[in-house]
Amino acid sequence: MLRRSIAAALVLFVLGGFVMAETLRGQLVSLDGTKAKVKVFKSKKDKEGEEKEFTVASSAKYMKGGKKGTEPTEVAVEDVKKAIGTKGATVTIEVADDGEHKGKITKITVGGRRKKAE
């Protein structure tokens, strides 16, 4: 019984890791048509990050995060471009890993702050 429980927990952790692999947090540097440049931070202490370029799917959703405990609301692309400004915008992006949108951004959620490293 204990052996089965441990095996089930291990499977859940492994499968949960695959789900988390497609969601990235970072700083949106630019958004031009179908291309987006995102500075991805590997950890909270990483101050420089790694700039990556992604292709944005034509059916991508653009969201603005709400206050804690509320759902994000859908916004227009122009609102996301305004949020970038000169310093960039903190975003959470979802990258598809299957089907016709493989490797493309399917959802951009603007909002939240990256906590400063201590």
Residue 19 has pLDDT above 60, yes or no: no
CATH number of 23-110: 2.40.50
Q: How confident is the model at residue 112 (pLDDT cuts 50, 70, 90)?
A: low
Secondary structure of residue 112 in the 3-state scheme = coil
Q: How confident is the model at residue 110 (pLDDT cuts 50, 70, 90)?
A: very high
The model scores a pTM over 0.95: no
Q: How confident is the model at residue 117 (pLDDT cuts 50, 70, 90)?
A: very low
- All structural domains of the chain with their residue ranges: 23-110
Give the residue ranges of DSSP H helices in the chain.
2-20, 77-84
Burial of 65 from C-beta contacts in 10 A (0-12 / 13-18 / 19+): middle
Contact 62, 72 (CB under 8 A): no
Q: How far apart are CA 76 and CA 56, in angstroms?
A: 14
pLDDT of residue 33: 82
Q: How far apart are CA 46 and CA 30, in angstroms?
A: 20
Average pLDDT over residues 73-102: 86
